[in-house]
Amino acid sequence: MFAAENGLKGDPRLQAISDAIRVIPHFPKQGIMFQDITTLLLDHKVFKHTVDIIVDRYRDMDISVVAGVEARGFMFAPSIALAIGAKFVPLRKPRKLPGEVISESYVLEYGTDSLEMHVGAVQPGERALIIDDLVATGGTLFAATKLLERLGAEVVECACVIGLPEVKEKFRRLLLRLGDQGEVD
């Protein structure tokens, strides 16, 4: 597991977390093995372990911003923010955030999408963490990183519950992944 690279080797909580994630074949389309974290959220102890592990890593790193990627990042990031005393910043699909936003596009398998963040949510020099449930190619997290950096924040790390092997090599050094759930076809 990738987490082993980060000093968590042998931590029994990791196995419980991995076991709590359910795989749904052929969702959202044929050939994709979807990593479903909702079953983890149904298990209070394991959900707490997941948050604890992330909090333990970041609590002394002077992080004042925890950004979460819509929508599954919203399920993890706020609890982490609360525990380390940081602000929570939602990174959203277009036209969901009211008021003034900045936008960053990213490439999908077919087409593009974009992420938005509120202007003024972060100040230059703030240290930030970005949270999502899963990292695949890293495209979404890369866009998220750019949003924060454009407003002068420093992205210390991105943390995801699940990391898929195809995560691009250039992005690896930025990621802490708690579980390696196998491949997407």
Stretch that binds another protein, among 90-98, 131-139, 159-167, 173-181 (CB under 8 A): 90-98
Q: Which is nearer to another protein, 34 or 171 (CB)?
A: 34
Q: Which of residues 36-65 bind another protein (CB under 8 A)?
A: 36, 38, 41-44, 47-48, 51-52, 55
Is beta strand 175-180 parallel, antiparallel or unpaired with respect to 101-107?
unpaired
Stretch that binds another protein, among 13-21, 83-91, 149-157, 168-176 (CB under 8 A): 83-91
**What percent of the chain is helix, strand and coil (3-state, nearest 5)?**
35, 30, 35
Range 151-174 burial, b when 16+ CB lie within 10 A, else e = bebebbbbbbbbbbeebeeebeeb
Interaction of residue 121 with another protein, rule CB under 8 A? yes
Interaction of residue 28 with another protein, rule CB under 8 A? yes
Residue among 160, 159, 163 at smallest CA distance from 184: 163
* 149 HSE (CA, 13 A, CB side): 10
Q: Residues in the site for another protein, rule: CB under 8 A? A: 22, 24, 27-28, 34, 36, 38, 41-44, 47-48, 51-52, 55, 70-72, 74-76, 78-79, 81-83, 85-90, 92, 95-99, 118, 121
